[in-house]
Amino acid sequence: MKTEDMDPSFADLDAWDTARALEKLHESQMAAVATVAPALPALARAVDAAAARLKTAGRLIYAGAGTSARIAVQDGAELLPTFGWPADRVAFVVAGGEGALLRPVENAEDSGADGAARVVDLNVEPDDVLIGVAASGGTPFTIEALRAAKARGALTIGVSSNEDALLLREAHHAVLLATGAEPVAGSTRMKAGTAQKVALNLFSTMLMVRMGRVYRGLMVDMIATNEKLRRRAVRMVATLDGCSETEAASALTTAGGDLKAAVLVRRGLDLAGARALLAQHGGRLREALAEVGRR
């Protein structure tokens, strides 16, 4: 596996002065980001397939071990506050359980049976989408979790840094991030981890766009859980409607904090009508506004 190879250009890393070492490590990180570009077509296909599967129901499930699991959990955990994606529509299959996110659990990634059992425990169904993330692409826990989800009819996506990885062969959609050898041999928290973070960011953000949770570059399903976000919500309504912030704040109060409904309230709908129109258009504010404009 290339992720286990030693990069000879970093053989003297420990002998370099700090500034030079950091420069070279930074270069390797930029190279890792660049590996995502060839994967964009595969990511696009995965996004479109996932959006179709999650249109009315289903969960987005992240599966992984070690560093890959931590990066995956970070991505999934941000979907609720940023995009208002329901908490019960995201799940995690982590080798060693949640405790392994903070402390390594011995041999956890080697148990394929545990990966499959976790998928069964979650009652994975055909409406679900499971993303298996493993730099090596050979992690038994992640592979068996993906296989079990696939057997239960779920859509599966594999993300790995090794071209011939079993994880990629087993997934419906294979996303190869060819990061190669690491500056510190085998330390996939470096190049592979960076590429995973970028790829998952792109995937989940574009998926939320396709699910109607972004309009005109704004996170219109954001959950305003603090004063900073409440001020942001007011500014967004004011921007989208062209009204004053006072008027925007009033509309948000009427809409119970629902930003998209508040915009429609500003267009003359009552709250029930705004919610019904959004439901009719799958939560897509652009389409709801277009219909208001046709009336």
Q: Is-catalytic flag, 4?
A: no
Residue type at 13? L
Q: 132: which strand partners?
A: 63, 158
Residue-by-residue DSSP string for 70-112: HHHHHHHHTHHHHH---GGGEEEEETT-GGGGTS--TTGGG-H
Query: Whats the size of the chain, residue-wise?
Result: 295
Q: Is-catalytic flag, 109?
A: yes
- The catalytically annotated residue of 109, 144, 170, 182 is 109
Report the alpha-carbon distance of residue 234 to residue 249 in Å, rounded.
5
Report the alpha-carbon distance of residue 269 to residue 248 in Å, rounded.
14
What burial letters (b/e) apply to 185-194, b meaning 16+ CB within 10 Å?
ebebbbbbbb
Q: Largest Cα–Cα distance in the chain? A: 72
- The catalytically annotated residue of 4, 23, 27, 78 is 78
Catalytic residues: 78, 109
